[in-house]
Amino acid sequence: MENENASKRIEELRELLNKYNYEYHVLDNPTVPDAEYDRMMDELLKLEEEHPDLRTEDSPTQRVGGPPLEGFQKVEHRVPMLSLGNAFGEEDLRDFDRRVRDRIGENFSYVCELKIDGLAVSLIYEDGRFVRGATRGDGTIGEDITQNLKTIPAIPLRLSEQVSMEVRGEAYMPKPSFMKLNEEREKNEQDLFANPRNAAAGSLRQLDPKIAASRNLSIFVYGVGTVDGKEIDSHSDGLDYLSDLGFKTNPEWKRCDTIDAVIDYIEGWSERRPDLSYEIDGIVVKVDSLEQQEELGFTAKSPRWAIAYKFPAEEVVTKLLDIELNVGRTGVVTPTALLEPVLVAGTTVQRASLHNEDLIKEKDIKIGDYVVVKKAGDIIPEVVSVLEERRTGEEQGFAMPETCPECESDLVRLEEEVALRCINPKCPAQLREGLIHFVSRNAMNIDGLGERVITQLFREELIHDVADIYQLTHEQLIELERMGEKSVANLLEAIAVSKDNSLEKLLFGLGIRHVGSKAAKTLAQQFGTMDSMMEATVEDLEAINEVGQKMADSVVRYFQNEEVHELVDELKAAGVNMTYKGPKPVSVEDIDSVFAGKTIVLTGKLSQMSRGDAKKKLEEQGAKVTGSVSKSTDLLIAGEDAGSKLEKAESLNIEIWDENKFVEELAK
């Protein structure tokens, strides 16, 4: 076939296959027999093989899965994928509603959606073509799983409009696919997946995309992260727009004008939940208006305009076989119940938290008891109560030891604490847990140096503290179990890369009591270097808005320890960075700019720079850039084809600039 004719036929086939795929996987309404679809796919495959120059990334043939990947690349989300706060009952929902009304008044509505139990993902489209997909990760950094996501038929590779945007969705495994997969694994004597969510997550993290392609995954897209050149005023409008573009959205969402209507919706789906062909673990409730979402804002961890109602935990009865003691990195000794394996809310549970000695005494828990176990929020297994009527008299009481189970040092109970704590700084368990924390994702993020490898290194006495990590050699690592040449090379590379981390990663990794990842960044921004940090007084620290007395005392006490000074010196000698590399906090008063301190909205298409670049430049000059126009907006910068935001700014008599004036002011 001539190249011109081939190009025309290829485009015809792609359009038809995309149409049939959409009807089958999104509308659930196929219009052609499977045999006809397969025939056309075979024809397209052959034409693309004969004319490889006509093959494109958004062709339906690209869903079958490419060659195996060597690993997943890290990607930064354009807009953070924050987690939601949880509600576990009607009282929590009404408290959420009260907080919303206190901030924005009575004139608003909610949108309720089923909370799909899957894997949250971000999808990037440029000019209507799917170019990248990533996991949620820690909310800021995810993993690039584009090739695996391409194998999901419900994800369009080409949209109905040539729009550039980021969307969020939940990839999931339908119940029939899950049952079929586990049947196959059972035949092959492989471990079974505990639930569809784990199966979906495991499928999308396969390095071989062909495995993901074989798992019959699907997706529901639930929100717009960013979109160029399109004004969306509400979450419900966003859902309609996503459907128009060809995305699969969940049809069961509903707009509710009151919290009572929200509760009715939740009660209805609590009963109908088993009838669905996919798993849900709750209901997501969001304020519909995006302008009101902007007004409500965020806490450090989650939006104030949304909450996730979690279905009541499933409770089951099992036998408590023993109680195990674990020593954490801060020295707290935690009792854990070892149970006869039991299925709870879709997963097999063999361990459950007992929290502390006081709880064991309060619930009169004994070894050998039959106990009620549930998952708090469908996540953390815990022992709820004891079935005393099933006791035989052979049960054994339990008492916490007086000495540490790891190092035999005396345990103490600090003032105002219920936990027993080992305060020996050389306790092996604390050192090991501290090492595991140091290499974790939110700390130094050393890939390949997980709990198993840390335990081996510690057991072989190759590492004693975090500085020893930077002295590890190829010869030492190659002797470890399950460590080949490639694994060793990758690990040494990851260790070397971690030396360049910004100071806040190191501060968090050191495990200073009361200093979380957010506080570590605040301290790093404020002091700039490790040396300045070590010289800080309690007064210096308490002068920082986000630092209280407990944290200030803890930081000063930590750096007064001579062993800490020696550790820092060893890290310096190993080449570990000791300075903050991120943007410095700047006071608006210190910025000489017409934009400083102003709340600004960008709208329409900019020709001289991207909206993202414009936002960055404004923020560098002390402006706060928001997504919606309100009475608090000081300035609207309008590009071409500005829509409803321009009209609203005019109605509120807000100052309006065109792009040329904006660029002129930037240049001053």
**Chain segment 254-310, per-residue pLDDT in tens:** 999 999 999 999 999 988 888 899 989 899 999 999 999 988 988 766 899 999 998
Question: What integer is the mean pLDDT of 591-597?
Answer: 82
In the chain the first and final C-alpha atoms are separated, in Å, by 60
588-667 falls under which CATH superfamily? Answer: BRCT domain (3.40.50.10190)
pLDDT band at 174 (very low <50, low <70, confident <90, very high): very high
Please tell me the CATH code under which domain 503-573 is placed: 1.10.150.20
Per-residue model confidence (pLDDT) at position 378: 46
Per-residue model confidence (pLDDT) at position 71: 67
Other beta carbons less than 10 A from residue 114's beta carbon: 25
Per-residue model confidence (pLDDT) at position 1: 62
Of 235-249, 301-315, 530-544, the least confident: 301-315
Per-residue model confidence (pLDDT) at position 141: 85
Is the pLDDT score of 88 beyond 90? no
Of 183-192, 347-356, 424-433, 603-612, the least confident: 183-192
Per-residue model confidence (pLDDT) at position 339: 94
Please tell me the CATH code under which domain 315-412 is placed: 2.40.50.140
Contacts of 351 (CB under 8 A, 6+ apart): 324, 336, 337, 338, 339, 381
Average pLDDT, the chain: 86
Per-residue model confidence (pLDDT) at position 587: 59
Could you tell me where in the chain the CATH 1.10.150.20 domains are found? 428-498, 503-573
**Alpha-carbon gap, residue 313 to 604, rounded angstroms:** 47
**Alpha-carbon gap, residue 649 to 660, rounded angstroms:** 18
Fold exhibited by the domain 85-310: D-amino Acid Aminotransferase; Chain A, domain 1 (3.30.470)
Is the pLDDT score of 124 beyond 50? yes
Q: What is the pTM of this model?
A: 0.53
Question: What integer is the mean pLDDT of 444-460?
Answer: 90
pLDDT band at 524 (very low <50, low <70, confident <90, very high): very high
**Residue 592 burial by Cβ neighbours in a 10 Å radius (0-12, 13-18, 19+):** exposed
**Alpha-carbon gap, residue 207 to 285, rounded angstroms:** 35
Question: What integer is the mean pLDDT of 139-156?
Answer: 89
**Alpha-carbon gap, residue 80 to 300, rounded angstroms:** 12
115 assigned to active site: yes
Question: What integer is the mean pLDDT of 111-125?
Answer: 94
**Of 573, 431, 421, nearest to 511 (Cα)?**
431
Could you tell me where in the chain the CATH 1.10.287.610 domains are found? 3-64
**Alpha-carbon gap, residue 248 to 148, rounded angstroms:** 17
For residue 333, list its beta bridge partners.
327, 420
Q: What class, spelled out in words, does domain 3-64 have in CATH? A: mainly alpha
428-498 falls under which CATH superfamily? Answer: 5' to 3' exonuclease, C-terminal subdomain (1.10.150.20)
**Alpha-carbon gap, residue 181 to 203, rounded angstroms:** 11
Catalytic residue (one of 115, 150, 248, 310): 115
Could you tell me where in the chain the CATH 3.30.470.30 domains are found? 85-310
**Alpha-carbon gap, residue 285 to 112, rounded angstroms:** 5
Per-residue model confidence (pLDDT) at position 26: 64
Question: C-alpha angle 417/420/421, rounded to 5°?
Answer: 100
**Alpha-carbon gap, residue 115 to 137, rounded angstroms:** 18
Question: What integer is the mean pLDDT of 572-589?
Answer: 82
Task: Work out the angle between the directed axes of helices 428-438 and 451-459 (0-180°, nearest 10).
Answer: 140
